[in-house]
Amino acid sequence: MTSAAASTPDSSALDGSASLGNVKATRDDWLDLALSVLARDGVGGVTVLALSERLGVSRSSFYWYFRNRDHLLDELLMRWEGQTTRSIVRQSEAPAASINEAVCNVFRCWIDTELFSPRLDSAVREWARRSEKARNALDRSDSERTAAIRKMFERHGYPPDDALVRARILYYMQIGYYALDIREPMEARLKLAPHYLETFTGVQPREEDLTAFRAFAMRRKAKDLAAIEGDP
């Protein structure tokens, strides 16, 4: 550990950031950038040097917030769980008048990268092939996500074992969808949505089960297009 790690915080810490001249990098700055690099380049790209250069600060400022790189990686796993697993759990618990509407609530995770990032999730899965700590975090998250979807089915009257199998089919299918890097226009996905719903739930969906989800999906598509085109 460098001397910066053991130093006593001075007034520059009062606003929660490490200061170097006119440049400040907060703890969230380091974590947000590290998460972005993890998703794009994998865990091997998450280095103190690379991050400090991107942030425009010295490497010593890293130790203001983290003991070492392993500490940063531990924090990344926690943030990944917060941004992905918690979203799936929240969507599984969202109020719904029918099981098909409930599944549509979960579907929102798969089309909104602010709720769930397939690229980041894939990076963690690759990381877990070489790290026991990442493997444990991934197993825990997969179990928590599946359990939340299972409870969703149970709340709508499905027996426990039936709910478990349906939860696994829904969740494993979606993870496989991204693992295979399937690229499909939003319109095509929406057209197939009623068929997916009936397969997952065994209940033919009503138009009202899909209305809010379709509107959400098209708003998300418009937002993504605006970002690509550089619209404000």
- Quick one: pLDDT at residue 219? 87
Domain residues for 106? 81-201
For residues 64 and 18, give the distance between their C-alpha atoms in angstroms, rounded to a whole number: 7
Structure tokens belonging to residue 67: 């003991």
pLDDT at 177: 86
pLDDT at res. 21? 42
Splitting the chain (232 residues) into consecutive groups of 10 residues, what average pLDDT does each group show?
Answer: 34 37 77 95 96 91 94 95 92 96 95 90 96 96 97 98 98 90 85 94 94 89 60 43
The answer to whether position 86 is within a domain reads yes
Which of 122, 141, 96 lies closest to 179, judged by CA?
122
- The confidence score (pLDDT) of residue 18 equals 46
> Looking at the 3D structure of the chain, how many domains does it have?
1
pLDDT recorded at residue 75 = 96
pTM (predicted TM-score): 0.83
Question: At CB < 8 A and 24+ separation, what contacts does 143-146 make?
Answer: 144/85, 144/89, 145/85, 145/88, 145/89, 145/171, 146/171
For residue 64, being part of any structural domain is answered with no
